[in-house]
Amino acid sequence: MRSAYLEIDLDAIRYNTRRTQEMIGASTRQASIVKANAYGHGAVPVSRACLQAGAPMLCVAIAEEAVALREAGIAAPVLVLGPPSPDEVDLYAEHDIISTVSCIEHAEMLVAAAKRRGIGVKLHIKVDSGMGRHGVSANAAGELAAFIAAQPELTVDGIFSHFSSACSTDLSTSNLQLATFNEILPTIMAHVGDDKPDLHIANSGAIVRMPDTRFDYVRPGAILYGLNPGFDDSLMPEFRPALALKARVAIVRHIEKGAPVGYSCAWRAERETTLAVLSIGYADGYSRQLSNNADVLVGGRRCPLVGMVSMDAITVDITDVPDAKLGDEAVLIGAQGGERITVEETARRAGTIVQDIVARLSDRLPRVLLGETGDGDS
């Protein structure tokens, strides 16, 4: 196996799913967000862990992600949160995938696909409550719902929206979005028939901070992976981080005071220095913004990353860990000894969000799965 890799704790995924269920209560269900390769954690094993822990539905961003779950033998309902496109629309009927519809053109594509395949398609209507991206607007919601109702090939399985600022200190925007969603619902519901569709709007931030948004489903994303999506740490419930990023020391080098390291000579040794080179870089999704701006755990101690993050390598000052040697474990995200480097710290240093840090982690990194049997997830 490659010397740089990810450890994925599936017990933590199961724990976080059950912890979320405790928060939302028995009357609300979870649609686990496993898009973008389950935020870099591995869509198939994470999906299975969520389902084992009681989540009845999965959400992805594009149809191809849903097909990958089907091809892995996952039969649970899968909702594609993004819009259908002409090139992939037949996949919805072929693989029993739930589509998101925001306009009549989306519905027309699904009708055509359903007729070609001779099978109906389920869909969720997305409402633009103030995000300004996908979703039907208030003045078009009735027309869309009426059109869908007239198509025997289509079944409205749900209605949903998405918050833009549920992690913000000021929840006024989110409260306005919730009010808008509630105002549009009767217009749509008037056309959907006797079978009440499932309603959902709560993402991770709203699950934790806005109990009145939990409706029939919630959509845990960041919290499913034990990540704080951006609200005050004091508000973060007890969730378990599910990911660790590790590498083995590829070589130990000794350099003189004043010697440069890496591209652009962006760092020079202020003393005689011992360096560990790790075979991981921005091609693996480790941000170049962490150049001269991160710590790595070696021998249970924080050691500074020095020089630029290269495509395939980084250098770490291990002068204060004299026993370090080739093959030793280095931890870029995760725990070692009594120290821990979190995704939140890494995101802060890189000037981005936790989702960006984990979602960019490349398929070049092997995923080592912990807790596959589920024996330690209580």
CATH of residue 276: 2.40.37.10
Q: Which of 223, 257, 283 is the last residue of a domain?
A: 223
237-262 pLDDT, tens per residue?
Answer: 899 999 999 999 999 999 999 999 99
306-364 pLDDT, tens per residue?
Answer: 999 999 999 999 999 999 999 999 999 999 999 999 999 999 999 999 999 999 999 99
Mean pLDDT of 121-138: 96
In this predicted structure, the answer to whether residue 378 has a pLDDT above a threshold of 60 is no
For 96-114, b/e burial (b = at least 16 CB within 10 A) is bbbbbbbbeebbebbbebb
Six token digits for residue 12 = 């933590």
Same structural domain, 298 and 160: no
Q: Residues near 273 by Cβ (< 8 Å), separated by ≥ 6?
A: 254, 255, 257, 259, 317, 319
Residue 5 lies in a domain: no
pLDDT score for 303: 98
Q: How many residues does the chain have?
A: 378
pLDDT score for 376: 54
HSE, CB side, 13 Å, CA atoms: give it for residue 13: 31
Domain count, the chain: 2
What integer best gives the mean pLDDT of the chain? 96
Q: Which of 223, 255, 270 is the last residue of a domain?
A: 223
Say if residues 138 and 184 touch (Cβ distance below 8 Å): yes
Q: How confident is the model at residue 234 (pLDDT cuts 50, 70, 90)?
A: confident
% pLDDT > 90, the chain: 95
Q: How confident is the model at residue 233 (pLDDT cuts 50, 70, 90)?
A: confident
Same structural domain, 14 and 133: yes
Q: How confident is the model at residue 1 (pLDDT cuts 50, 70, 90)?
A: confident
In this predicted structure, the answer to whether residue 32 has a pLDDT above a threshold of 50 is yes
Cα–Cα distance measured from residue 144 to residue 142, given in angstroms and rounded to the nearest whole number: 5
pLDDT score for 375: 54
Say if residues 292 and 306 touch (Cβ distance below 8 Å): yes
H-helix segments, the chain: 10-24, 35-39, 43-52, 63-71, 90-94, 104-117, 138-149, 172-189, 204-209, 343-350, 354-359
Residue 122 lies in a domain: yes
pLDDT score for 137: 96
Same structural domain, 324 and 251: yes
For 123-150, b/e burial (b = at least 16 CB within 10 A) is bbbbbbbbbeebbbeeeebbebbebbee
Cα–Cα distance measured from residue 102 to residue 145, given in angstroms and rounded to the nearest whole number: 10
Same structural domain, 46 and 180: yes
Active site residues: 35, 263
Same structural domain, 35 and 172: yes
Same structural domain, 207 and 259: no
DSSP state of 320: T
Same structural domain, 323 and 275: yes
Cα–Cα distance measured from residue 287 to residue 357, given in angstroms and rounded to the nearest whole number: 8
Phi-psi region of 286 (alpha: psi -120 to 50; beta: other; left: phi over 0): beta
Question: Going by DSSP bridges, is the β-strand pair 260-261/99-101 parallel, antiparallel, or unpaired?
Answer: unpaired
Same structural domain, 32 and 158: yes
Same structural domain, 169 and 272: no
In this predicted structure, the answer to whether residue 5 has a pLDDT above a threshold of 90 is yes
Residue 376 lies in a domain: no
Cα–Cα distance measured from residue 145 to residue 270, given in angstroms and rounded to the nearest whole number: 68
pLDDT score for 377: 47
Residue 237 lies in a domain: no
pLDDT score for 240: 96
Taking alpha carbons only, the member of 212, 233, 214, 229 closest to residue 166 is 229
Cα–Cα distance measured from residue 189 to residue 204, given in angstroms and rounded to the nearest whole number: 26
Residue 4 lies in a domain: no
3-state secondary structure (DSSP) of residue 246: strand
Same structural domain, 206 and 247: no
184-206 pLDDT, tens per residue?
Answer: 999 999 998 778 999 999 999 99
Cα–Cα distance measured from residue 83 to residue 81, given in angstroms and rounded to the nearest whole number: 7
Same structural domain, 201 and 311: no
- Domain, as residue range, for 274: 243-370
Taking alpha carbons only, the member of 232, 221, 220 closest to residue 167 is 232
CATH of the domain at 108: 3.20.20.10
Terminal C-alpha separation, the chain: 30
Same structural domain, 58 and 196: yes
Residue 230 lies in a domain: no
pLDDT score for 73: 98
pLDDT score for 194: 75
Cα–Cα distance measured from residue 214 to residue 210, given in angstroms and rounded to the nearest whole number: 8
Cα–Cα distance measured from residue 318 to residue 328, given in angstroms and rounded to the nearest whole number: 12
Give Cα separations from 207 to 80, 165, 246, 291 (angstroms): 20, 13, 31, 35
Say if residues 275 and 316 touch (Cβ distance below 8 Å): yes
Q: What is the pTM assigned to this prediction? A: 0.95
In this predicted structure, the answer to whether residue 270 has a pLDDT above a threshold of 50 is yes
162-172 pLDDT, tens per residue?
Answer: 999 999 999 99
In this predicted structure, the answer to whether residue 374 has a pLDDT above a threshold of 90 is no
Q: Which of 223, 254, 289 is the last residue of a domain?
A: 223
Residue 285 lies in a domain: yes
Taking alpha carbons only, the member of 176, 184, 115, 198 closest to residue 144 is 184
50-81 pLDDT, tens per residue?
Answer: 999 999 999 999 999 999 999 999 999 999 99
In this predicted structure, the answer to whether residue 151 has a pLDDT above a threshold of 70 is yes
Residue 364 lies in a domain: yes
